[in-house]
A and B are shown apart, each in its own frame.
Chain A
Amino acid sequence: MTSSPAHGADDQAPLIAARDLHTWFELRQWGFLRVGAVRAVDGVEFSLAPGEAVAFVGESGCGKSSLARTLLGLHRPTRGEVRFAGRSLGELQGRALKAYRAEVGYVQQDPYGALPPFLDVRRILAEPLIVHGVRDRAERERRIRAALEEVRLSPAEAFLGQFPHMLSGGQQQRVVIARALILAPRLLIADEPVSMLDASVRVEILELLRRIQRERGLTLAFITHDLSTVRHYAERIFVMYAGRVVESAPVDDLLDHPQHPYTQALLAAIADPDAANATRLREVPAGEPPSLLHPPAACRFHPRCPHFMAGLCDVEDPPDFTPRRDHRSACWLHR
């Protein structure tokens, strides 16, 4: 279906790659009667090089969090596969799967909900080390302190005995990041890491993630609904709509020359602070994102698209075209 192998860097052995990835959630009535499936991830292809920072951008219900959980190995793909360092995730079991979990760090959306309220910071950070067999208490303590310093919770002693509720939102998110990093993963998945935080703290956390990513040479998959925050914190953007990647390109090229009508609509809807905004209406495509239970046929965006071509967009899935160098867009306009 796609005209080229995958979205993303092709020249380097990828750290993680998804091929024809589908994660569907079956709906059953009375526990056994199949009545349909929610197609949360519906044919996603990409590959991420070691040390690359990318952003998956889309609105709620576009499947970006299901994609994250599929990459983490929490959902088993319905079809297609995820390969990490050359091995298919589906083959991993037992110890190999556990070892994979240590290779992938995960930063959740809501820092307060992500931290157990009855454990102090030391214990929260010790947990992954204990689970992954770091038996030496002194070694654990050393790594916990190093992790706190790395996320700029310094001096570490001041934070070790604190409980989550004693920390500000920004500090809590730093603890979540420290926990995600403590097993020295090669891939970090950050699902809306700043959406619950205040504007002045957001930048701090994004800068921190980017700095750590660079210093450690991590692959970072940053999942967000907010296109205005990605420019400085990722190198490549994947725009998702209704379970699929509709456009991908290097950050500046995507933000400055969006090709897919959905991306164009999304960018047009975002305001930069300007008093003139109050006097003009924004162009917004009619309708709402489709239900993933009954997505529209062919191009998922066609019912809302200003460039809809009857007999084509509603009949045949658009393949990935390359309208610009290193820039893919799944839209028949580029044919």
Chain B
Amino acid sequence: MRDRTLLRVEGLELHYQTRQGAVHAVDGVSFDLHRQEALVVLGESGCGKSSLAKALMRLLPRNVHHTAGRVTLDGVDVTALPDERFRREVQWSRLALVMQASMNALNPVVRVGEQVAEPLRVLRGWPRGKALARAAEVFELVGVSTDFLARYPFELSGGMRQRAVLAMALVAEPALVILDEPTSALDVLTQASIMNALKRVKRELGTSFILITHDVATSSELGDRVALMYAGQLVEVADAARFFTEPAHPYSRMLMASVPRLRQRARPEAIPGEPPSLATPPGGCRYAERCPYRFARCAQDPPAFRLGERHRARCWLHADNAPAGGGA
């Protein structure tokens, strides 16, 4: 039997060089992801969640100052692969990314169908007709009428373009698709129907997802697991059911309390303060400054403590548990 772990990330770091000094955008991130599982990476803007996606995809800007850690995909240490092999064997074919606002990145002068079929022609060398036929199938799966294959991007609404980009990421049937804020620019009904499409894809193609978002409610539409990111680190990783009802980290609890809910009368509560600068992160726990449970020990950096099967939190309040190993 194959190992059920699809992706294992251990001690991932990505620091950028800026005029303010090194920015620790991703600072020791570890998690693992099972096959056919969807992991939500939840976090507020500037917490490093998009950098995490870029680090996994190896789409690094030029001002990268330092990278470290190990990413294992399907048992293969992809961090050890040279760039050329990574591009040929992993990027887009095994691991695809739908970037934020990528619906605006479609080529305006090429018909949508051709663009969606392109990964098959480039990566697999399929002939045009075969690739277009497959593109049409994926179009239907994500809820776009195949009439749109011959249209240009400007003829499609924002929601339809977003689905086309999704189809492009899915067409080569990668094992894992990373979605960076895939619906944040869209309307409520469009958002809901795209989340429906993702649920169908997950069920029918068995694709695994990493969904990167700041939106707690949307995250619950797909996530089997939730990883909450704060100031470059994962502060809690848990099953979605656990996370949405009894989160363990103080930040998780406060974030959940700050979410306005449609169907409850409880008043949401703001989290006072601001996240720390990633250029000069505080020495101890990065959330300590905003944390009502802060005590002396928080001046030291807490490790991730293991709270249960695949549940860990990076907080001294849970110090009576054993520290977690690499993945969770």
- What is the interface of chain A, defined by CB distance below 8 A to chain B? 59-60, 168-170, 198-204, 207, 225-229, 231-232, 255, 265-267, 269-275, 277-279, 281-282, 284-285, 288-289
Chain A residue contacts of B215, Cβ below 8 A: 199
- Please name the residue on chain A nearest to B43 by beta carbon: A198
A267 to B192: give the CA distance in the assembly, Å: 11
Known: A232-B267, A271-B217. A282 touches B195 (CB 8 A): yes
Contact of A284 among B192, B244, B263 (CB under 8 A): B192
Q: Within the assembled complex, what's the spacing in Å between the Cα atoms of A60 and B183?
A: 14
Instruction: Tell me, yes or no, whether B109 is within 8 Å of chain A by CB.
Output: no
In contact, A273 and B190 (Cβ under 8 angstroms): no
**CB nearest neighbor in B for A60:** B187
A168 to B, closest residue via Cβ = B274
What residues on A are CB-neighbors of B274 within 8 Å?
168, 170
What is the minimal beta-carbon distance from B235 to any residue of chain A, in angstroms? 14
A198 to chain B, nearest CB (A): 4
B260 within 8 A of A: yes
Give the contacts of B24-54 with A (CB-CB under 8 A). 38, 44-45
List 22 contacting pairs A-B, 8 Å CB cutoff, sorted by A: A59-B189, A168-B274, A169-B45, A199-B214, A199-B215, A232-B267, A265-B189, A269-B188, A269-B189, A270-B192, A270-B217, A272-B261, A273-B244, A274-B244, A275-B239, A277-B221, A278-B38, A278-B240, A279-B199, A281-B199, A282-B193, A288-B157
Alpha-carbon distance A156/B264, docked complex (angstroms): 37
Bound-state CA distance A203–B269 (Å) is 7
Cα distance A190–B224 in the bound complex, in angstroms: 37
Residues of A within 8 A of B239 (CB): 275
The 6 closest A-B pairs by CB, nearest first: A269-B192, A200-B271, A275-B240, A204-B270, A275-B241, A59-B187
- The answer to the question of B265 belonging to the interface, with a C-beta cut-off of 8 Å to chain A, is yes
A199 with B44: CB separation less than 8 A: yes
Judge whether A273 and B260 touch: CB under 8 Å.
no
| Cα distance, A64 to B274, chains bound together (Å) | 31
Query: Once the chains bind, are A278 and B192 in contact (CB under 8 Å)?
Result: no
> Provided the pairs A273-B216, A284-B196 are in contact, do residues A203 and B270 lie with their beta carbons within 8 angstroms?
yes
Q: How far is the CA of A204 from the CA of B259 in the complex (A)?
A: 12
Residues of B within 8 A of A271 (CB): 192, 217-218, 220-221
B259 contacts A273, C-beta separation under 8 Å: yes
**CB nearest to A205 among chain B residues:** B270
B113 beta carbon closer than 8 Å to chain A: no
Chain B: how many interface residues by the 8 Å CB criterion? 51
**Is A278 a contact partner of B222 (Cβ separation < 8 A)?**
yes
A-side contacts of B190, CB under 8 Å = 59, 288
Report if B159 contacts A (CB, 8 A): yes
- Chain A residues within 8 Å of B69, by CB: none
CB <8 Å contact, A282 and B196: yes
Within 8 A of A (CB), among B218-261: 218-224, 239-241, 243-245, 254-256, 258-261
Residue in A200, A231, A269, A289 whose beta carbon sits within 8 Å of that of B258 in the complex: A200
Closest B residue to A195 by beta carbon equals B184
Note all chain A residues with C-beta closer than 8 A to B256: 273
A25 vs B271: C-alpha distance in the bound complex, in angstroms?
42
> Which residues of the partner chain B approach A225 to less than 8 Å between Cβ atoms?
187-188
A278 contacts B44, C-beta separation under 8 Å: no
CA distance A284 to B45 in the complex (A): 29
Question: Are A200 and B255 touching (Cβ within 8 A)?
Answer: yes
B199 in contact with A284 (CB, 8 Å): no
Residues of A within 8 A of B72 (CB): none
Separation in Å of the B49 CB from the closest CB of chain A?
Answer: 12
Residue with the highest number of chain B CB atoms closer than 10 Å, among A59, A199, A225:
A199
* Chain B residue, CB-CB nearest to A284: B193
B169 to chain A, nearest CB (A): 20
Q: Which residues of A contact B272 (CB under 8 A)?
A: 204
Question: By the criterion CB–CB under 8 Å, are A267 and B270 in contact?
Answer: no
Instruction: Let me know if A199 and B261 touch, CB within 8 A.
Output: no
Q: A279–B195 Cα gap in the complex (Å)?
A: 11
Q: Besides A278-B222, A281-B200, 9 other CB < 8 A contacts?
A: A199-B258, A200-B271, A202-B258, A204-B272, A228-B260, A275-B239, A278-B38, A284-B192, A289-B187
**Interface 1/0 per residue, B135-160 and A, CB below 8 Å:** 00000000000000000000001010
Question: Is B191 in contact with chain A by the CB < 8 A criterion?
Answer: yes
Shortest Cβ distance from A208 into B: residue: B270
Whole-angstrom CA separation of A203 from B222 in the bound complex: 25
Kindly provide the distance from the CB of A289 to the nearest chain B CB, expressed in whole angstroms.
Answer: 8
Q: Are the C-beta atoms of B262 and A273 separated by less than 8 Å? A: no
Who on chain A is nearest to B158 by CB? A60
